[in-house]
Amino acid sequence: SDLPCSHPLCKPRIPDFTLPTSCDSNRLCHYSYFYADGTFAEGNLVKEKFTFSNTQSTPPLILGCADESTDDKGILGMNLGRRSFVTQAKISKFSYCIPTRSNRPGFLPTGSFYLGENPNSRGFKYVALLTFPESQRMPNLDPLAYTVPLQGIRIGPKRLNIPASVFRPDAGGSGQTMVDSGSEFTHLVDVAYDKVKEEVMKLVGSRLKKGYVYGATADMCFDGKNPVEIGRLIGDLAFEFGRGVEILVEKQRLLVNVGNGVHCVGIGRSSMLGAASNIIGNVHQQNLWVEFDVTN
């Protein structure tokens, strides 16, 4: 059923600023949502029940029924907002594994998604999520995102000279590092991006596709049909979080096929998105179990 404008969730006293709502011409609750990578969806809020099996279903949940969106597949909102599926369905823990992208025509790899306990979790390593009370809310901060304590970036054996403060929110909220499965590429603030590009240029600068920018944000791209060779010259890429936790992108998976014989390092510049945050996108979450223990 459609949500009327008079519903308290349409204009809550303390709104989730990432989901602006308004009243449409039919007095129904209209929403518009822009994701971290610039994609969007808009439509009406509705109330529906989710049924997972004959015995498992949720109470009626508020969700968005999009009539306009960048992507027609739909997105399950799993952030910390009051309208997210996690919050409404009272999910304490969830995890997923995004499959490695395949270039084989007609082959669609499948991933995995768990609500609740994951039977593979025995070997998982954890870092504490950063949380922000309302008294610490800052203009450039997204308090509903999953913010992680990124400490540094390594290319090959070399840890780049990037201050750890670049990956933490400053007084205005800029520099937050979030995990976002809805964004394709990882995006870094200028200070971090420049250091990554500087190292890539040292290693393979002569092979760079000059003047080419993918998705208006990523300019570390290469022509040719041998991306493995360029990856070998650059080396492994690692995002370091402390406690021995890191996301390791092995050199053979370093470059992403963006079509027409072009391959790019899967990192873009946040400022070109109009963002002031670091975003770890799904290209760097592939073939990993990523779990969020919301309760703890």
Rg (CA), the chain: 20
Q: Which of 80, 59, 90, 92 is nearest to 16 (CA)?
A: 80
SS3 135: helix
Give yes or no: residues 72 and 156 share one domain: no
Q: What is the pLDDT of residue 207?
A: 94
Find the domain containing 25 and state its range. 21-91
Confidence of residue 71 (pLDDT cuts 50, 70, 90): low
For residue 207, what is the DSSP state? G
Regarding whether 216 and 176 lie in a shared domain, the answer is yes
pLDDT value of residue 288: 94
Both 53 and 143 in one domain: the answer is no
Do 131 and 255 sit in the same domain of this protein? Answer: yes
Question: Has residue 248 been placed in a domain?
Answer: yes
Rounded to an integer, the average pLDDT of 76-87 is 90
Q: How many CA atoms lie within 13 A of 51 on its CB side?
A: 3
Do 275 and 152 fall into the same domain?
yes
Per-residue pLDDT of 210-243, as tens digits, reads 999 999 999 999 997 788 899 999 999 999 998 8
Task: Using the predicted structure, report yes or no on whether residue 168 has a pLDDT greater than 90.
Answer: yes
Question: Are 87 and 128 found together in one domain?
Answer: no
Number of domains in the chain: 2
- Pairing assessment for the beta strands 267-269 and 186-188 based on DSSP bridges: parallel
Please identify which residue in the block is written with the tokens 């179990």.
Answer: 289
Task: For 32-59, give the DSSP string.
Answer: EEE-TTS-EEEEEEEEE--B-SSS-BPS
Specify the CATH number for the domain of residue 161. 2.40.70.10
> Do 70 and 202 sit in the same domain of this protein?
no
Asked if 287 and 109 touch (Cβ cutoff 8 Å), the reply is no
The answer on 264 and 145 residing in a single domain is yes
User: What number of CA atoms fall less than 13 Å from residue 190's CA on the CB side?
Assistant: 6
Residue 95 in this model has a pLDDT that exceeds 80: yes
Task: Say what the pTM is.
Answer: 0.88
Model confidence over 17-55: pLDDT tens digits?
Answer: 556 788 888 999 988 877 666 677 888 999 999 888 777
